Structure 1
Amino acid sequence: MAEYSSLLSDLSENITNEDLEQLKSACKEDIPEEQSNNITSSKEWFSYLEKNDKLAQDNLSYIEHIFEISRRPDLLTRVIEYRTTVLKISEDDEIDTKLTRIPSAKKYKDIIRQPSEDEIIKLAPPPKKV
């Protein structure tokens, strides 16, 4: 639990008020507007998500998705590091479950996995100058 609290604290320190507005906007389907207006800090935002079963120490997929669509790869990276080091969920396991949890992630399946040797296109060396 200490690692989870540390993660949320670390994330909070890296979310400005402007970022918070963007994150709340990305959650507008899950947070009613009147409640969204009452959320004035990232800690309150995390607390709201926890109370509404969108966030837990072993369930981070919702905020991963929000950070992804909000174009915050720095925050997403911190969450993924927590998931792989603390929760011990491997990337391969996570890719499979993420693709079933987040419909929009299906289009990224080929980007996420590493290509095999057969799939890598080999380029010919550039022509030599004469």
Structure 2
Amino acid sequence: MDPFLALLSSLSSSLSASELHELKFLCKDKIGKRKLESVESGRELFSFLMEQQLISSHDVDLLKRLFKTIKREDLVSRLTQFIEEGEASAPDERPDINERRLQKVVIEVICENVGRDWKMLMRKLNLSDVKMDRIVAANPHDLREQLVQSLREWQKWKGKDAKVTDLIKALRDCNMNLVADIAEQNLSRLNTENM
């Protein structure tokens, strides 16, 4: 079974009738009136959004915005967890489990310590300005979320070629040596704990 479809089914069953009504209203500009009138469950609504290519296992930004609007942060968290756990990409396209663990440590350090200069870092990682602009538009007032989403986009784009060494090198190339040092200290601490 497709993990993304299983997630959508689960999210659908978490919605009340009034929340579904709100979601339908919010999707008026995306789905035709006739189709929207026929929607009786979250699953049907999500199917139409997938048909329009507005959501996919690789792109849940619209769903997150919809759930935030109806104040269902719990559903936003489930989507975020789905993406973070790498369910969104095929297993053979992801780095091995150890590399993902190391990436998580370095990404946390980056998110804690890199501020407004995050775009410079992402450019060193070769993430396109178009993708960064889309991320900024989706999270206009949340600098940390812009950085988090950009790093996730980089991970998805690079797949199994996403390496911690690339993150450290990009930090050093941006003269963010202190952040790189903190990341390396955390990595060595993690390696020591796992011995």
C-alpha offsets along residues 44-89 of structure 1, whole Å, 9 cap, x if unaligned?
Answer: 1011001000111111111111111221101111100001002379
Structure 1, gaps ≥5 residues long: 114-130
1:79 equivalent to 2:113? Answer no
SS at structure 1 position matched to 2:11: helix
Looking at structure 2, the residues matched to 8 and 104 of structure 1 have their Cα atoms a distance apart, in angstroms, of 21
So what's the TM-score if we normalise by structure 2?
0.49
Looking at structure 1, the residues matched to 63 and 145 of structure 2 have their Cα atoms a distance apart, in angstroms, of 21
Partner of 2:137: 103
Is contact 2:22-2:70 (8 Å) kept? yes
Structure 2, gaps ≥5 residues long: 89-93, 95-99, 111-117, 120-130, 148-195
Which protein has greater RCO, CA pairs closer than 8 Å, 6+ apart? 1
State the shift of 1:30 in Å.
1.0
1:41 equivalent to 2:41? Answer yes
Question: 2:135 corresponds to which letter in structure 1?
Answer: R
C-alpha offsets along residues 69-124 of structure 1, whole Å, 9 cap, x if unaligned?
Answer: 2211011111000010023796779x9867633625221226877xxxxxxxxxxx
State the shift of 1:34 in Å.
2.3
Question: 1:100 corresponds to which letter in structure 2?
Answer: R
**RMSD over aligned Cα atoms:** 3.1
Looking at structure 2, the residues matched to 10 and 61 of structure 1 have their Cα atoms a distance apart, in angstroms, of 18
1:20 equivalent to 2:20? Answer yes
Bigger helix fraction: 2
Q: How many residues of Structure 1 are paired with residues of Structure 2 in the alignment?
A: 112
Q: Structure 1 residues 58, 110: closer, same or farther in 2, change over 3 A?
A: closer
Question: 1:109 corresponds to which letter in structure 2?
Answer: L
